[in-house]
Structures are given as structure tokens and as C-alpha cells.
Structure 1
Amino acid sequence: MAIDPSSRALIARLGRDYLGHHRRGILLAILCTLLLAGLTALYPIVIQQGFDRFSSGDTTIAWMIPPVIIAVTCLKALAQFGQAVSVQAVVLRVIEGVQNDLFRALTRADLAAVTADAPARHASRFTVDAAAIREALTKSINGGADVLTVIGLVASMVWLDWQMSLIAAVMYPIAVVPILRLGKRIRRASGGMQERMGETAAQLTESFGAARVVRAYRLEAQEEGRAARTFAELRASLLGIARIRASLDPMLEALGGIAVAAVLAFVGWRVAQGEGTVGEFTGFVAALLIASRPVRALGSLNAALQEGLAGLSRVFAVMDRPRLVVEAPEAQPLPAGQGRIEFADVGFHYAGTAEPALEGLSFTAEPGQTVALVGPSGAGKSTALALVPRLHDASAGAVRIDGADVRAVTLASLRDAIAYVGQDAVIFDDTAFANIACGRPGVTSAEVEEAARAAAAHDFIAGLPQGYATPLGPGGGRLSGGQKQRVALARALLRDPRVLLLDEATSALDAENEAFVSAALARLRQGRTTLVIAHRLATVRDADLIVVMEAGRAVEQGSHARLMAAGGLYARLVRTQFGPAEPQPAA
């Protein structure tokens, strides 16, 4: 089977990085395979001996043949079981390793690279692509067993009658050319099918996630139409592959039938010439028929292999995607300090966009100060916040914490010094304790409870069925929005950061929950440098510094009173929200 250089590289990498770690399991599979192939090849010879002994009248030995057949069959069954289990043990461990490496690559990839695709598309690589790789790997390893079995059966045929073996030898190689051509078509079609699978998963996730909007706006028919088109495209892709794969077995079946017919015709001619024995003929046909299954399996191997290689190519492409946010070779830990943040003439471009997201942004947050970033939507506030923990890297200028450029320090020390609380509190499908403790692994129960009390979360957590050991469900489904936010604040408090990043942390809450969360935020901000984004300007009235942003630039800076007196963009935003009345200080 011809393999192109890219496929060879993929197979070599799979063997080096994954299969090479399971030599013991592979050795066991090889031993079982050799035993299975040898016993299968022995079967036709036992049949030939039985028929010839009976035909010659040697009944003493002939009656021993049935027990021998039973023994061979039982041993073959044991070898088959051992081979199947050992192969799957190796294959599943390899797939587990690939999935772990893929997940590690995605969790450590640049934020921009991960958000470029819908979550369902990423998930499909762990399911659809992994299934294709698993099937290809299983069939490839089993293909080795099939090759050995066919070699053993060919040896049996040659031993029984070398002339009849030539007839069979001529037939099956004819199928190689169409098999290889079909394999190339399947690999091309597999790429489209995997793409359709990813699109289907993404569309379903999006539609079910928007269930409230779909019903409120009566979009059921629209979503059903969208889903129907997606399912039709998926069906067409799957049917295309099914058509190609379905042509393999009938082609090999027909060739097998022609081979048997040719052998029978040749045997008829030889019998007419008075040559050969019934046992030889029976054993040979048995070997030929037994060989049909592994030969068909080898014929379909290329199709499965091409699909698996297509999936492997996509998975390795994700693993090999170069990261833009990387640690400098000489990176040092973040120096000790109180959390002074400086944006020095910072610029930033998102990939593929002409307009800068940030341009010439400069401001300083002194230790312990609260600096608010305000401005219209699209002004670049969230982008500026993302540069502090290096979710993105500045294209120009520098972001410094305690005098150190964030690009020159280790990522671990940088991010350990920062806590982030966003508008949508992230709650993992784990216990309340684990959701808080992940802010600082290795903490005690007392420290978790202390953080929960400071975040006004202890009372409702204690009231859960199992207290802190209660699973909170996917996305924190057991909690209200305000409760989720307080759990997120407890996580940030436990982290004890020198820098706190708040992105609309109270904007989605009702008045009562906002009061709870605002009080917890006030405790969290004490002694820490805080950058806060807020569209509700009443929440930033008492900030030490307000940076007003527009089109990626800082157009105004100062206190609330000073900016109101200046009558610029900030004053207009305040009047737009509150009219002529002054906003009251946040609780």
C-alpha cells in the first residue's frame, strides 16, 4: 500500500509519541496474533488430513481428527479473545494519551486561538476525530493479524497444491489499484464530513443555549429550518463516504467468487486427468474461503486508515499551532511589590483586523488604588484588561506591574498575582468547596470558609444539602446569579492577589444581590490595586482614577468631580445615564 510522505510523518509521530509507550501491551497482542494466525493456517491442513485418512480407510488416525479440530478451534478462540482485548487495551490507552495532549494544547493555547472556534467544534475533535483514529488504529493493528493469517493460509495452500495457489494469487492483487484510489477519495470526503459534524454540534449547542430567546421571539420554525439544512448537509457527507466504503466489500466478494470458481474449474480438469485427492481439494477450498475474511478486512483497511489519518492530521494541527503568548527564555518571577500597574503607550491589533483595538493607551494605577475604565462599547476596555494577565500581548508599548514588563516575567508568577471576576461568574461542575479552593490549591477548609464569609457566601453554601460538599451542577445550576458571583468573589479573595481585575462584576445582578456583592467587592479591593470596567457609572464614582476610553484611546483621565467639571465625554455619558441628577455613590 503506497503511503504519501505526510501520512508517513503522521504514522511515525503516532508510533513515536504514543504507541512506543505501550511496548508490553503490543508484545502481548503480537504473541496472541501469531498464535491466532498459526492456528488458522493449521485448520485447512487438519481438514485435508481428515478427508484423506477416511478416504484411504485409515480409520484409526481418522477418528482422532475431530478431537484435534475441537482443540484447534478452542485454542483459536482463546487466542482471538486475547488478541482482541490486548489490541483494544493498547488502542484505548493511545487514544487517551492523544485526548490528554489535545486538551492540554487547547487549555494552554492563546485565548484568541481557542475563541476562534465554537466550543462544540473543539469537543468534536475529542469525539468524532478520536473515534476515527481509534477505528483506524484498531483496524491497522488487526490488519497485521490479517496479514499473518493470509500468509499462513497461503503457505497451507502451497503445501496442499501449489498449482491451485497460483490461481488465487493472481486474483486478489487485481483489487489493489481500486482500493488505493477509493482510499484517497475517502480521505478527501472525510475532511468534509468532520467539518459537517463540527458545524452540526456547534449549531445544536448554540440553538439549545438560546432556548429562552427562541421561544420569546417565536424562532422555532427558523431554528428548525436551520437545523434541517445542517442535518441534510451532514447526511450528504456521510452518504458520500458510505457509498465509497460500500463498494469495497462487494468488489472483494466478487473477486473471491471468481477465485473459487477458477479453482473449481481447475480441480474439475485435474480430476478428469486423475490427479489430486479429495482431501487436498477440500482443504484448499477451506483455506481459500477462510482467507476471504482477512482479505476483505485488508481491503477495507485503507478506507479506515485514510479517515483516521485525516482525523489525526486535524488533531496534530491543533497541538502544533504556534502560541503567540509565550514565556521569554530569560523570564524572571514577578518582583515583589504592591501591585503598581502602568500602561505605557500601549497599542494592540487583533489578528485579521485593520483598525487597532488600542492605540497609545497610557495610565498608571498606584498601589491600592481603584482605576475605572469607562467608555462606549467597543472602546477597548476589555482588551486593555486582558493585556494585564497576558491573555493577549501588546503590539506596541508595554504593560508593567511593579516596574516589570509583563512579557518579561514568568506566566505563573504573573497570573498568581492577579484575580479576575467577570460579569458571568464561571462555576465548574464540582462542589462548592472545589469551586472556591481552585483559587489557591492546597488550602484548608477553614481558609475556604473564611473566604466564603468575606464574600457573603457562607450562609447560602451552608444551607445547601451537603454544605460545601454539594455539587453545584453544570454552570452552577443550583445557584442564583448573585450566589454564583459571590462564589467567584470568594475564589478571588482566597487567591489573595495584589492586582484585582473586575469586568462588569455587578451589572447582571438585582438590587439586593448587587448590595451583597458590592459589599464583598469593597472588602476584596482593600489594599489591592484594582482595575474595574463598568458601564453603570454609579459604581465607579468613587474610583481613585477614571480613564475614559474611546476608539482604543484614553481621551480623558481624572476623578469623577474633575471629569464632570470638564464637561467632556465622561460628563456626557453620565448625563445620558442619569439625566441632570448626579449618580449616588455605590454601596
Structure 2
Amino acid sequence: MALDPASSRLLIARLARDYLARHRRGIALAVVCTLALAGLTALYPIVIQQGFDRFSAGDTSIAWLIPPVIIVVTCLKALAQYGQAVAVQAVVLRVIEGIQGDLFRALTRADLASVTRDAPARHASRFTVDASAIREALTKSINGAADVLTVVGLIASMVWLDWQMSLIAAVLYPIAIVPILKLGKRIRRASGGMQERMGQTAAELTESFGAARVVRAYRLEAQEEARAGRTFAQLREALFGIARTRASLDPMLEALGGIAVAGVLAFVGWRVAQGQGTVGEFTGFVAALLIASRPVRALGSLNAALQEGLAGLSRVFAVMDTPRRVLDAPGAQPLPAGRGRVEFAEVGFHYEGTAEAALEGLSFVAEPGETVALVGPSGAGKSTALALVPRLHDATAGAVRMDGADLRGVTLASLRDAIAYVGQDAVMFDDTVFANIACGRPGATQAQVEDAARAAAAHDFIAALPQGYATPLGPAGGRLSGGQKQRVALARALLRDPRVLLLDEATSALDAENEALVQAALARLRQGRTTLVIAHRLATVREADRIVVMQAGRAVEQGSHAALMAEDGLYARLVRTQFGAPEPEKVA
């Protein structure tokens, strides 16, 4: 999507204010090197002119100094060029680092609904594809300032050498401005589609690799290859469209440069026929014209890179500026002291963009130290209800309270510090075992981590790892089995010592042996804590102090396992439907 000039100016102003302004010293160094580079480049034509004219006039007393002067000017220019390149990259890379940091901070603190709206690979592309476009645009923009100064210096040299010949170049080069601006607009429009296409490609590849087991088991290799082929073809077309547009810039400027040189030569020929001008002036002028061709071509391609960078910057800032809905209310207070009494009072919730309520009039109480199990058919709203406790979403009706306080009126930090969560898929970070457990309580000691691991029946297998607690687990905890990862997750929750424990089918993916170990750890973890659990295992449900049976977002039954079976309602029907017996091992 093309941006209007006013939006472009706002983006550039924000970039300068929020990021470039932090690096004034680096920018000052780049400016000094740039001025030196431009001045030394502008000296070249004059040195050449002086050399030819001195030799032509037979003034050998000074002419022999010209070669050493050229060497000195060249060395100084090389030094300035190196300093400018290093200074520019130092500033640009620090700016990109700052943008990436702010973008990551915005995403990690954004509402869960905002983050899950896009695939993880699409978010990742903003740190790579968009950041690369911004980096190139920023680099070329700063270098463009050097090119402008260089061209200005060379124009001054040309005017000093021969102002009449300078008029020819002055007339021809501005002609290129109109097509350059038009091409820039086309590139910006194409860049938006290309960046979106790259994000979609990354998302599809991540999805395909993540489903490697299913792809092989169902022999979907050919289907996935065909899908990937179509994606690559669409990406190629998007990239080729931009490449074709950008490729037209240099030939156009090259042609204009050739026309300018030809015009100068024709004019010089006429002047020589008239007996005007010197060989040195002509040689120096042509040298200045040829030297100017590189920075002029660079300035021509600057607009294209700038358009791509602005498109990327617009997408990045749009993520940063997405307003949060789940945040501390004005005057929010810390969670009051208590033992973890959780109350759902006529709670309703709608997911954004959906008309049907996920929860409607949900009411139940979990008293301090109680274990309350949420059961019901798929889509009943169990996971949604659980997500409201740590305020991953906010209730749209009614209230969720903890120890008497409406959760929307307490600080997020104090609320989430009082809660631990263990899900079906134990989340492991690509870090050591110690770090994966210690994130439950930042600053925990080695002894505290080991005590938590022992309580979670994890210490023995951790100690047997090659480096014990210092063993890196790899991406997604690949070094551990499912049961081991679940016990590490339980150790993390134990270390947190929460007031309220949330368990979302924490044992449903485990075999019998691992389930027994995890159940024992869960029993220790639940002691003295209020626990809300979504479970399909009857062992967990039997032990619950209260079972809340949900249907269509409502609590339709509540009570113990025996009481609910005696009522012969939905809970009893679910049990009989799944197992065909009144005393099954599992419930839905």
C-alpha cells in the first residue's frame, strides 16, 4: 500500500526522533568523514586539470609534484571512505537493533488475541525482511547525503573549470527526476505485496516442517511439494516485479550520463575549433563528469530503496502502535492478600469478530485450597474460562474475582505473580534445564531449583543428563521426552509457589508410567493451593473437590463426582457415552 507524502514525513520524523537522535556522536563522525570524502573527491578534477595544464605549458618545476599529490589525495580519500562506511554502519545497525528490540517488546506485551492473529513466522519476518529493507533504506539515505555533497563538490569543480560546459550537465540530469519518482511509487506498492508474500511463505514453510510426522505418515510429500512450489512461484513473481522495476533505473541514468558526455564532447569540439579552452580544463571537466556518474546513479536508486524501507517501517510501527486492551486500569492496586479464592460471577466473553458468546453467565467458586475441575464437551468454553484468570483476555460481562478483588482492577504483575500455569504441551525454551525451571521465579538459587525438581520427580533424570542442570535442552526441549518436559514444567510451577494453579489437560498426552509420576507431582503441587483444572483423566476428576460441568459457555451442573453421577445429568451422560459404563476411567 502506497503512503502519501505526509505519512512518509511522519515516519521519517519518528525514526529520526526516536532512534537516530540517540546516536548523535556516531552521526557526527559519519558527517565529518562524509565532508572529507566529498571534498577530496571534488579535488580530483582540479588536480588533473592543473597537471595537464602545467605539463602543456612546460612548467616542470611544479608539474612533477602532481603525481605525489594525487597519491596523497587518493590515500586520504580511501581513509575517509573507510571511516564513513564504518561510522554509517555502526549507526544503522544500532538503529535497527533498537527497532527490533522495541518491536519484540511490543509483541511480547501485546494482547494474546493480537499476537495469535498472525502466524509466528509472519511476526518473525518483520524482524528479518522488514528490518533488512529498513536497514538498506537507512544506509542508502545516509550514504545519499554523502553522494549529494560529492555531486555538489564536483559541480563546483566543473563550474570552476568551465561554467559553460557545466550547463549541459545541469540541463540533462534533472530530466531523470520525474521517472525516478514514478518508479519509486511503483516499487513501494509492489514492496507491500512482496513483504506480505514473504511472511506468508515463511508461515507455510513453518507449518509444513512442524507437521513432518503427519506429512510422512499420510504420504503427503507430493502435496506439500506442490503447495510449496506454488508459494515459491508467487514469491518469485513478486520479487521479479520489484527487480524489473529497479533494474530500469541504472540503465536510464547510464543513458543520460552518456548523452551528457556526448554533449560535452560536441561542445568541446566546437570550442577547440574556435581556439578556446585548454586541454587541462577539458580533461578535468570530463573526469569530474565521469566521477559524478556513480553518486548520481546511487541517488537515482535511493528513492527505490527509500520506498521499500518506508513500507517496512510503516508495518513495524503499526505493530508497535497496536493498542492494548488488557492492561493495568488507572489506579490499579496490587492483588490483596489471601489464599486464592477464585470466583466467576455471571461471566460472559466474546472473541473479537465473533457473534456467538464463548462464555455466558458462567458462575462458580473455587474456595482456597480446593481443586475445581472444568469438564464438558469440546467448545464448551473450558479453556476460555481458564484464560480469564491470568487476564490473557478480559471478561466482557460479569466479573472474575480473586480474594475478593475484580481482576480488572488489580495490577497485571501482582496477579500473574500469584498464578502458575501448566498446559498439555509443556513449553521449553532453547536454554539449560536450570534456566527453564528458574524462569518460574527469576533469581532462584541452585538449591531452590533442585528442590522444586525433586518435588516434581524430575531431579533424577536431570542429574543423569550430560551436564546436569546446565544441559542445553535445544529447540522446544528436544533433548527430553514428553513426560520429562512435563515434569520440568511442573518444577517451574512448584518453584513459583503460586496462590492459584491452572492445569490445562496436563497429563492427557502422557503414557501410563509418566502419567503416574506427573500425577504424584501434581498432588504435591496442589496441596494448599486453589487449583482450576481441565482434565479428561478420571483420576484427576475424582480427586476434585468440585466438578463444574460446562455446556455452551455455561455451568450447567456442579458437584462431586458421586453427586453428579447420582443426578444422572450431562456429566453422567458424558461418562456413559464415552465409556459405556457408570464407573469409567475417563470423562470427556
> TM-score with structure 2 length normalisation?
0.99
Query: Superposed, which structure 2 residues align to 1:2-401 within 5 Å?
Result: 4-401=5-402
Q: Following TM superposition, by how much is the alpha carbon of 1:581 offset from its aligned partner in structure 2, in angstroms?
A: 4.5
C-alpha distance in structure 2 between counterparts of 1:50 and 1:308, whole Å: 44
Which residue in the other structure is 1:475 paired with? 476
Q: Following TM superposition, by how much is the alpha carbon of 1:538 offset from its aligned partner in structure 2, in angstroms?
A: 3.8
Letter in 2 for 1:141: I
- Secondary structure of the residue aligned to 1:177 is helix
Which residue in the other structure is 2:492 paired with? 491
* 1:421 paired to 2:418: no
C-alpha distance in structure 2 between counterparts of 1:166 and 1:585, whole Å: 90
Q: Following TM superposition, by how much is the alpha carbon of 1:579 offset from its aligned partner in structure 2, in angstroms?
A: 1.9
Q: Following TM superposition, by how much is the alpha carbon of 1:51 offset from its aligned partner in structure 2, in angstroms?
A: 0.2
Contact 2:194 2:238 in 1 (8 A): yes
Letter in 1 for 2:394: D
Q: Following TM superposition, by how much is the alpha carbon of 1:160 offset from its aligned partner in structure 2, in angstroms?
A: 0.2
Q: Following TM superposition, by how much is the alpha carbon of 1:539 offset from its aligned partner in structure 2, in angstroms?
A: 2.4
* 1:543 paired to 2:544: yes
Contact 2:579 2:586 in 1 (8 A): no
Map Cα deviations across residues 473-503 of structure 1 (whole Å, 9 max, x no partner).
Answer: 1100000000000000000000000000000
C-alpha distance in structure 1 between counterparts of 2:270 and 2:46, whole Å: 23
Contact 2:572 2:582 in 1 (8 A): no
- Secondary structure of the residue aligned to 1:575 is helix
Contact 2:537 2:585 in 1 (8 A): no
- Secondary structure of the residue aligned to 2:23 is helix
Distance 1:453 1:538, change over 3 A: closer
C-alpha distance in structure 2 between counterparts of 1:111 and 1:60, whole Å: 80
Map Cα deviations across residues 450-494 of structure 1 (whole Å, 9 max, x no partner).
Answer: 000000000000000000000011100000000000000000000
C-alpha distance in structure 1 between counterparts of 2:60 and 2:573, whole Å: 110
C-alpha distance in structure 2 between counterparts of 1:243 and 1:534, whole Å: 57
C-alpha distance in structure 2 between counterparts of 1:585 and 1:380, whole Å: 19
Contact 2:537 2:586 in 1 (8 A): no
C-alpha distance in structure 1 between counterparts of 2:395 and 2:4, whole Å: 44
Contact 1:461 1:467 in 2 (8 A): yes
- Secondary structure of the residue aligned to 1:30 is helix
> TM-score with structure 1 length normalisation?
0.99
Q: Following TM superposition, by how much is the alpha carbon of 1:386 offset from its aligned partner in structure 2, in angstroms?
A: 0.2
C-alpha distance in structure 1 between counterparts of 2:241 and 2:536, whole Å: 52
Contact 1:539 1:585 in 2 (8 A): no
- Secondary structure of the residue aligned to 2:543 is coil
Letter in 2 for 1:537: L
C-alpha distance in structure 1 between counterparts of 2:66 and 2:582, whole Å: 105
- Secondary structure of the residue aligned to 2:547 is strand
Which residue in the other structure is 2:405 paired with? 404
Contact 1:454 1:490 in 2 (8 A): yes
- Secondary structure of the residue aligned to 1:126 is helix
Which residue in the other structure is 1:441 paired with? 442
Q: Following TM superposition, by how much is the alpha carbon of 1:3 offset from its aligned partner in structure 2, in angstroms?
A: 7.4
Q: Following TM superposition, by how much is the alpha carbon of 1:369 offset from its aligned partner in structure 2, in angstroms?
A: 0.2
Q: Following TM superposition, by how much is the alpha carbon of 1:534 offset from its aligned partner in structure 2, in angstroms?
A: 1.1
**Structure 1 unaligned spans of 5+:** none
Q: Following TM superposition, by how much is the alpha carbon of 1:583 offset from its aligned partner in structure 2, in angstroms?
A: 3.4
Q: Following TM superposition, by how much is the alpha carbon of 1:20 offset from its aligned partner in structure 2, in angstroms?
A: 0.2
Letter in 2 for 1:427: M
Map Cα deviations across residues 9-63 of structure 1 (whole Å, 9 max, x no partner).
Answer: 0000000000000000000000000000000000100000000000000012111
C-alpha distance in structure 2 between counterparts of 1:373 and 1:172, whole Å: 74
- Secondary structure of the residue aligned to 1:391 is coil
Letter in 1 for 2:233: A
C-alpha distance in structure 2 between counterparts of 1:3 and 1:174, whole Å: 23
Query: Superposed, which structure 2 residues align to 1:508-519 within 5 Å?
Result: 508-519=509-520
Map Cα deviations across residues 64-108 of structure 1 (whole Å, 9 max, x no partner).
Answer: 000000000000000000000000000000000000000000000
C-alpha distance in structure 1 between counterparts of 2:340 and 2:582, whole Å: 35
Letter in 2 for 1:573: L
C-alpha distance in structure 2 between counterparts of 1:415 and 1:31, whole Å: 51
C-alpha distance in structure 2 between counterparts of 1:283 and 1:190, whole Å: 41
Map Cα deviations across residues 275-302 of structure 1 (whole Å, 9 max, x no partner).
Answer: 0000000000000000000000000000
* 1:530 paired to 2:531: yes
C-alpha distance in structure 1 between counterparts of 2:183 and 2:301, whole Å: 10
Q: Following TM superposition, by how much is the alpha carbon of 1:237 offset from its aligned partner in structure 2, in angstroms?
A: 0.2
C-alpha distance in structure 2 between counterparts of 1:36 and 1:114, whole Å: 46
C-alpha RMSD of matched pairs (Å): 1.1
Query: Superposed, which structure 2 residues align to 1:563-578 within 5 Å?
Result: 563-578=564-579
Q: Following TM superposition, by how much is the alpha carbon of 1:548 offset from its aligned partner in structure 2, in angstroms?
A: 0.4
C-alpha distance in structure 1 between counterparts of 2:471 and 2:206, whole Å: 27
Distance 1:3 1:421, change over 3 A: closer
C-alpha distance in structure 1 between counterparts of 2:476 and 2:419, whole Å: 23
**Structure 2 unaligned spans of 5+:** none
Contact 1:541 1:585 in 2 (8 A): no
C-alpha distance in structure 1 between counterparts of 2:376 and 2:30, whole Å: 65
C-alpha distance in structure 2 between counterparts of 1:358 and 1:483, whole Å: 34
Contact 1:200 1:234 in 2 (8 A): yes
Question: Alignment length, in residue pairs?
Answer: 585
Contact 1:537 1:574 in 2 (8 A): no
Q: Following TM superposition, by how much is the alpha carbon of 1:326 offset from its aligned partner in structure 2, in angstroms?
A: 1.3
C-alpha distance in structure 1 between counterparts of 2:455 and 2:582, whole Å: 33
Letter in 2 for 1:220: E
C-alpha distance in structure 1 between counterparts of 2:234 and 2:212, whole Å: 23
C-alpha distance in structure 2 between counterparts of 1:287 and 1:34, whole Å: 17
C-alpha distance in structure 1 between counterparts of 2:114 and 2:536, whole Å: 28
Contact 1:137 1:305 in 2 (8 A): yes
The list of structure 1 runs, each at least 4 consecutive aligned residues, that deviate by more than 4 angstroms after superposition, is none
Contact 1:44 1:287 in 2 (8 A): yes
Q: Following TM superposition, by how much is the alpha carbon of 1:576 offset from its aligned partner in structure 2, in angstroms?
A: 2.2
Letter in 2 for 1:216: A
Distance 1:533 1:585, change over 3 A: closer
Q: Following TM superposition, by how much is the alpha carbon of 1:578 offset from its aligned partner in structure 2, in angstroms?
A: 2.6
Letter in 2 for 1:80: Q
C-alpha distance in structure 1 between counterparts of 2:324 and 2:26, whole Å: 35
